[in-house]
Amino acid sequence: MKQPRKSDFPVSQVRRYLEPGPIVLVSSALAGKTNIMTLGWHTILEFSPSLVGLMISSGNHSFEMIRESRVCVINLPTTALTETVVRIGNTSGRSIDKFAEFGLSADAASAVDAPLIGECHANFECRLHDDALVDRYNFFIFEVVKAHVAASPKHPETLHYTGDGVFMVSGKIISRRSMFRPEMLG
């Protein structure tokens, strides 16, 4: 699979990729093992610090790995990875090594001890910022401490999960920039 060339991206602007609500792949590492899960329940919480909230169901093998390591990487797949996304979501890291099984490249992150998925369009390295709602809601608040984004395409086709095996696809763009007040842009 192709690995897009990525550059550093400002962490305060990750909303550009996450606010539209795509399915993401969350990668983690603990005690020499890695894992990947699919995740659709996330939201931006703040520009700076760059905060993102993730609901990671405690039934996932990744849950304890992330809770203990206190880091993860949020990876953005495009529709080129649709089948891989589905396979990742339908298997468990308890029984397989997902990087090996699905032929994905585990690249070294620069700020956290968890692997980047090389084939994804963007990778956001995250450190746990607040675990106040982990026990009650499995809701983790992370700070994005480093972001890597492919320069092209500018607006890749992303997958947006509706449940029941069905994804909506985003990628078509409409701009209404001229209708915005200047202070609402950026």
Nearest distance from residue 146's CB to a copy of itself, in Å?
19
**Cα separation of 5 and 160, whole Å?**
24
Task: Give how many residues touch a copy of itself by CB under 8 A.
Answer: 60
**Cα separation of 67 and 58, whole Å?**
10
**For a copy of itself, which residue of 2, 5, 94, 172 counts as binding (CB under 8 A)?**
172
Nearest distance from residue 114's CB to a copy of itself, in Å?
21
**For a copy of itself, which residue of 87, 101, 127, 128 counts as binding (CB under 8 A)?**
87
**Cα separation of 105 and 47, whole Å?**
29
CA distances for 141 relative to 6, 60, 103, 128, 158, angstroms: 25, 17, 30, 6, 23
155 binds a copy of itself per the rule CB under 8 A:
yes
- Terminal-residue alpha carbon distance, the chain: 34
153 binds a copy of itself per the rule CB under 8 A:
no
Nearest distance from residue 92's CB to a copy of itself, in Å?
10
**For a copy of itself, which residue of 5, 31, 83, 108 counts as binding (CB under 8 A)?**
83
CA dihedral for 104, 34, 38, 9, sign (positive or negative): negative
**Cα separation of 63 and 139, whole Å?**
11
128 binds a copy of itself per the rule CB under 8 A:
no
Binding site for a copy of itself (CB under 8 A): 13, 15-17, 19-22, 40-46, 51, 53, 55, 79, 82-83, 86-87, 89-90, 130, 132-133, 136-137, 139, 141, 155, 158-181, 184-186
